[in-house]
Amino acid sequence: MKSSTALAVTLGLLAGPAFADMDAAKKFLDEEIERSALSREEQEAEMQFFLDAAEPFKGMDIKVVSETITTHEYEANVLAPAFTAITGINITHDLIGEGDVVEKLQTQMQSGENIYDAYINDSDLIGTHWRYKQARSLTDWMANEGKDVTNPGLDLDDYIGLDFTTSPDGELYQLPDQQFANLYWFRQDWFTDPELMAEFKEKYGYELGVPVNWSAYEDIAEFFTGRTIDGVEVFGNMDYGKKDPSLGWRYTDAWMSMAGMGDVGEPNGLPVDEWGIRVNENSQPVGSCVTRGGATNDAAAVYAISKSIEWLEKYTPPAAAGMTFGEAGPVPAQGAIAQQMFWYTAFTADMVNENATAVLNDDGTPKWRMAPSPHGAYWKDGQKVGYQDVGSWTLMESTPVDRAKAAWLYAQFVTSKTVDVEKAHAGLTFIRESTIQHESFTERAPKLGGLVEFYRSPARTAWSPTGTNVPDYPKLAQLWWQNIGDAMSGAKTPQEALDSLCAEQEKVMERLERAGVQGDLGPKMNEEQEASYWLEQPGSPVAKLDNEDPEPETISYEELIKSWQ
């Protein structure tokens, strides 16, 4: 496969103006698409659709934006220039931090100015898009205004994440572009080393294995931290703690629900979700603090924050406290981390490339594996078990129709069956069933540490993004990293930080209620009551347990894989 620069030269992109014809499409297929869910004849037919549908928009300059991860780098560096060459639509695909994407989107929502013609933003914003009606309903778009630029081979049924981008009224607001889960990551070679296994059993009285609960995770973290293995000092945990927008995702992305905060329910707890926000029977947010029936500052939430801070201080490389999501992600590939409870599969690509020799065997198979994350002391059967990020194409109502149509063609191109298998091999973020089942991933599965097995299993549906309880993601998300950052730095205790967080969330929701901008779907706040009233009700919120350190429990990796199958 050629590099993106070589491919650009092949397509003539560096030699002169963009051109739009089937020759460019065929060159792209020859040079870049080695693996596809479609036959070559079907690929050419799909390319012909894009070429024809783009004819009215040739010469337009279209801007789209996404966060910076490997999948989107592939799109920006390889697929965007190819699309320009094939269609004549000039695409600028900007790569910026996820927090910056949300900020740009929020600015466009507030100002009505068309900053970008399309956004790849998390499906975590589904509650925002559904309530504000500032994002186009793609269901309506594909049936009406956008019908002439909707690929007949789009095959929505092939996308695995549509449940997460569909509102409660059945409208599709976002088209998945990449999808990844947070799982547990560990060094299988160390966990199966007979000497280490025997030493662990002698010290703790049970088998070294994949931790089922946080008590076991903590023992394993303690066991490995400070140990020297293969000449390297090892740490038993990896995390990040810098006061940065990504710190908030660390907790809203299911950490709180894995600890046991929120209610039972899939894909998200109801009536109280993993943000601690309670809704009524009409999906209207009614509170965040315990005094209004929320759980953002209940005992389970305090336990969740307290444990992450404790483990960051005791079992994690010192530099991690000053790292962001993007900086911390590749660290386990450097070979000094024994386990990570909250590891995003988006970093799989970093674990299998030429820079990851410390965690790969000579034959390219991994020394590590991925498995479900353990759960905390407050967790109950039926609660959310983990997070799944679904970065998805969103068309704003403020984008002019012709520009939205051109951007929609690009969105469909980069998620098309023609290119998706190849894109998935580059970024390892699956969105299509046909890609997951492709024979090339059967062949590659032994080198991906359980990723393919996870996505081929029914278990994958239990990992879900933020749900519709969150009425305004951009406004509320920024409160999380600012307040939790105070706890991470020691400026506030976990309880103080969460009391502040829930109060600030409620202020935002009260403003939304007064403004009435979300109509019948907006907040309708509960009256405050004594915390004891809500703590005596079934479900969330919960009071402090007498014992937050239950008996540790582990399971062998082989048994886990059997359960996935």
SS (H, E, C) 417-433: HHHHHHHHHHHCCCCEH
Helix, strand or coil for residue 447? helix
φ and ψ of 213, to 5 deg: -130, 170
Q: DSSP alpha helices (H): ranges in 329-416?
A: 348-352, 401-414
Give the pLDDT of residue 26. 96
Amino acid at 102: V
Distance CA 165, CA 404 (A): 19
Contact (Cβ atoms closer than 8 angstroms) between residue 470 and residue 128: yes
| Tens digit of each residue's pLDDT (9 = 90 or more) over 320-342 | 999 998 899 889 999 999 999 99
Q: Tokens standing for 368?
A: 């590590």
What residues contact 526, with CB distance under 8 A and at least 6 apart?
Answer: 278, 286, 287, 292, 293
Give the pLDDT of residue 98. 85
Q: In terms of Cα–Cα distance, which of 111, 135, 129, 119 is closest to 63? A: 119
Distance CA 413, CA 28 (A): 13
What residues contact 305, with CB distance under 8 A and at least 6 apart?
Answer: 251, 484, 487, 494, 497, 498
Strand intervals (E) in 210-284:
210-211, 228-229, 232-233, 278-279
Distance CA 552, CA 213 (A): 6
Distances (CA, A) of 245 to 81, 477, 479, 509: 31, 8, 9, 20
What residues contact 562, with CB distance under 8 A and at least 6 apart?
Answer: none
Q: Output the CA torsion sign for 106, 109, 111, 116.
A: positive
* Cα-only R_g, the chain: 24
Strand intervals (E) in 40-131:
61-67, 90-96, 118-122
Distance CA 47, CA 50 (A): 5
Q: In terms of Cα–Cα distance, which of 122, 557, 493 is closest to 344? A: 122
Helix, strand or coil for residue 213? strand
Amino acid at 564: W
Which regions in the chain score pLDDT beneath 70? 1-20, 565
State the residue for tokens 């976990």. 494
Contact (Cβ atoms closer than 8 angstroms) between residue 518 and residue 285: no
Distance CA 411, CA 63 (A): 12
Q: Which residues pair with 337 in a beta bridge?
A: 235
Measured from the Cβ of residue 546, the count of other Cβ atoms closer than 10 Å reads: 5
Give the pLDDT of residue 9. 41
Give the pLDDT of residue 8. 43
Give the pLDDT of residue 396. 98
Q: Output the CA torsion sign for 525, 529, 534, 535.
A: positive
DSSP 517-544: TTGGGS--PPPP--HHHHHTSSSSS-PP
Q: Tokens standing for 5?
A: 């620069």
Q: Tokens standing for 4?
A: 């993106």
Q: Output the CA torsion sign for 127, 131, 132, 137.
A: positive
Distance CA 279, CA 344 (A): 29
Q: DSSP alpha helices (H): ranges in 225-298?
A: 245-252, 255-259
Measured from the Cβ of residue 61, the count of other Cβ atoms closer than 10 Å reads: 12
Distance CA 255, CA 386 (A): 8
Does the pTM surpass 0.95? The reply is no
Distance CA 455, CA 429 (A): 10
Distance CA 354, CA 437 (A): 26
Helix, strand or coil for residue 321? helix
What residues contact 397, with CB distance under 8 A and at least 6 apart?
Answer: 133, 134, 135, 136
Q: Which helix (H) or strand (E) holds 181?
A: strand 175-186
Percentage of the chain lying above the pLDDT 70 cut:
96
What residues contact 175, with CB distance under 8 A and at least 6 apart?
Answer: 138, 159, 165, 392, 393, 411, 412, 415
Helix, strand or coil for residue 81? helix
Helix, strand or coil for residue 549? coil
Distance CA 466, CA 478 (A): 15
Q: DSSP alpha helices (H): ranges in 253-329?
A: 255-259, 299-315, 325-328
Distances (CA, A) of 250 to 256, 261, 265: 9, 15, 21
The C-alpha angle with vertex 70 and arms to 12 and 238, in degrees rounded to 5, equals 160
What residues contact 537, with CB distance under 8 A and at least 6 apart?
Answer: 293
